[in-house]
Amino acid sequence: MKIKINKSRLENIISNFQPFLEKRDNSQITSHILIETQPNAVILKATDYEIGIMAKIQDETVQTEEKITVNGKEILNVLKSLKDSEIELISNENELEIKQEKTKIKLQSFIGENFPEFPKDYKNSKINIDSGSIINSLKKILPVIDANSSRIEIRNALIDIKDSQIKFVATDTKRLEVISFNNPTIEKIQFMFPRRAILEVQKFFNDQASIYFNENNIIIENDTYTFFTRIPNGNFLDYERVIPKDLNIKNKIKIDKEKMIESLKIISSVSKKVKLSFGKEKLTFESINDSDAKAMTEIEIEKEINKDFIDSNNENIEICVTTQHILEYIKNIDSTHFEFGINENKNSACLLKSDNFILVVIPTIM
């Protein structure tokens, strides 16, 4: 192998590959990046078996077919030390030589044929939905996923395709978020998507890409990158049972997004919890904590709630929720207003809705 390549371009790719590498044991081939030459292209791969990434660099000067691996952290450190100009990569039996002008650096390599295989034969299992919608939806529900939970359904998102719809779901048991799209298909597929994979795909796929699946993997691919993540084993909870039906929500209040964000930020400056008091014409926010610090504010609401209930009981409808749970949802909605659905029972689940994006949140104890 003897190739010339732009140093900055290679450094950028290898830098983004770092989360895919084995960090604890440099003797493992998964701590290495595979560099492979094919006619008219240079291929780079990294994987720790759970997730993997491949980059394809078109280069018409390359005609040989060879494979070599090099420690991913070591080559990144070398590239950072070099000038921003062209470098040359030369492979020998057990090493990779990196040359730039009068500089020569040699790194130990492993046999390329021993590098883990990437998914194959998946082209006939394409998911027919816009890739931008998939990646953006996963990004929106990301804050709900708890990477440290021992429960598999809390550590992963769910992609659920059935009844001509595709749904993206995440829960931490205190809240549940669902994004729905119409998706004309007869397919019925349900699989979990890891939080870690959501974080990584955002680095590589901003434009159009193709989404595939097989028995064990989800694959995302465009002209430059191919990404895969293993599908976690296990079952997601029956999330549809958690979502209150519209007929069960007696009060639906239309609220301005920016006013809600501003008010919740005021409360969150002194408290993690907020008491929401829904009156006939206004919504009052009050901090709830054990310290002496207090905060209170209010906004007007555009749609009156159940006057009969308030008049007969001479009180507002009050609930207590975690401030951050509401804020994280509202910041990710696209519309200027959203609907806040509540019942008179302060312990009942609340349903927040904006277009195709909903949040079910369980009130906390005051």
pLDDT (0 to 100) of residue 163: 84
Q: Which residues contact 222 (CB under 8 A, 6 or more apart)?
A: 204, 205, 207, 208, 209, 210
Contact 301, 281 (CB under 8 A): yes
- CA distance linking residue 156 with residue 67, whole number of Å: 34
Q: Kindly state the average pLDDT of the residues 284-313.
A: 76
Residue 308 CA: distances (Å) to CA of 245, 298, 301, 313, 315: 22, 22, 17, 8, 11
Share of the chain above pLDDT 90, in %: 65
pLDDT band for position 304 (50/70/90)?
low
The string of pLDDT tens digits covering residues 40-98 is: 999 999 999 999 999 999 988 888 889 999 999 999 999 999 999 999 999 987 899 99
Superfamily of domain 131-240 in the CATH hierarchy: DNA Polymerase III, subunit A, domain 2 (3.10.150.10)
Contact predicate 98/89, CB 8 Å: yes
Q: Does domain 244-361 have CATH number 3.10.150.10?
A: yes
| Unique residue bearing structure tokens 């696209």 | 334
2-114 folds as DNA Polymerase III; Chain A, domain 2 (3.10.150)
Residue 15 pLDDT greater than 90, yes or no = yes
Q: What is the pLDDT of residues 210-266, one digit of tens each?
A: 999 888 999 999 999 999 999 999 889 899 988 887 657 878 899 999 999 999 999
> What does the buried/exposed string (b/e) look like for 108-134 if buried means 16 or more CB atoms within 10 Å of the residue's CB?
ebbebeebeebbeebeeeebebebeeb
End-to-end CA distance of the chain: 67
Has residue 305 got a pLDDT over 60? no
Residues of the chain with CATH 3.10.150.10: 2-114, 131-240, 244-361
Of 29-38, 64-73, 312-321, the one with minimum mean pLDDT is: 312-321
Q: pLDDT for 319-358, tens place per residue?
A: 999 999 999 999 999 999 999 998 877 778 899 999 999 9
- Rounded to two decimals, what is the model's pTM? 0.87
- What is the average pLDDT value for the chain, to the nearest integer? 90
pLDDT at 310: 52
